[in-house]
Amino acid sequence: MKTIRRMRRCAAWLLALLCAGCAGGGAVTVTDGTSGTERWTAGYAYAEIPLPEEGPRYIAGYHNGWEITEVRDLQRATALWLEAGDCRAAIVAVDCVGLGSDTVARIRRALADLTDETGCTVHVVATHDHAGLDTLGLWGPVAEDGKNPAFLDNLVAACRDAVLRAYEDRRAGKLFAADTEMENMYRDSRDPQVWDPAMHLLRFAPEDGGPGIRVISCGAHAESLRGANTRLSRDYPGVLCDLVEERTGDRALFWPGAVGGLVMTKEFNDPFDAEENLLITGEKLAAYACGPLEERELDASFSDAGIAFSVPLDNTTFLYYKFLGILGNEAVRGAGETGYALETSLSVLRLGSKTVVLIPGEIFPELVFGGGRGEAAAHPERENPEPLCEILAAHGLDDFFVVGLADDELGYIVPPDDFLVDESAPYLEAAKPADGSRHYEETNSVGRGCADAIADALRELLREAFE
pLDDT of residue 25: 52
pLDDT at 23 over 80: no
Q: What percentage of the chain exceeds 70 in pLDDT?
A: 93
Mean pLDDT of 60-89: 97
pLDDT of residue 2: 29
Q: pLDDT tens digits, residue range 90-100? A: 999 999 999 99
What's the domain count of the chain? 1
Q: Which pLDDT band, with edges at 50, 70 and 90, does 466 fall under?
A: confident
Q: pLDDT tens digits, residue range 95-144? A: 999 999 999 999 999 999 999 999 999 999 999 999 999 999 999 998 89
How far apart are the C-alpha atoms of 2 and 189, rounded to whole Å?
31
Q: pLDDT tens digits, residue range 25-71? A: 568 988 876 655 679 999 999 999 999 999 999 999 999 999 999 99
Mean pLDDT of 206-219: 98
Q: pLDDT tens digits, residue range 304-363? A: 999 999 999 999 999 888 888 888 888 889 888 999 999 999 999 999 999 999 999 999
- pTM of the complete model: 0.94
- Domain encompassing residue 12: 1-467
- Chain-wide mean pLDDT for the chain? 93
Q: Which pLDDT band, with edges at 50, 70 and 90, does 203 fall under?
A: very high
pLDDT of residue 37: 64
What is the Rg, in whole angstroms, of the alpha carbon atoms belonging to the chain?
21
Q: What percentage of the chain exceeds 90 in pLDDT?
A: 87
pLDDT at 365 over 60: yes
pLDDT of residue 36: 52
Residue 2 has phi, psi (to 5 degrees) of: -60, -40
pLDDT of residue 30: 86
pLDDT at 12 over 60: no
pLDDT at 425 over 90: yes
Please answer whether residues 344 and 309 qualify as being in contact, where contact means their C-beta atoms are separated by less than 8 angstroms: yes
**Other Cβ atoms closer than 10 A to 198:** 17
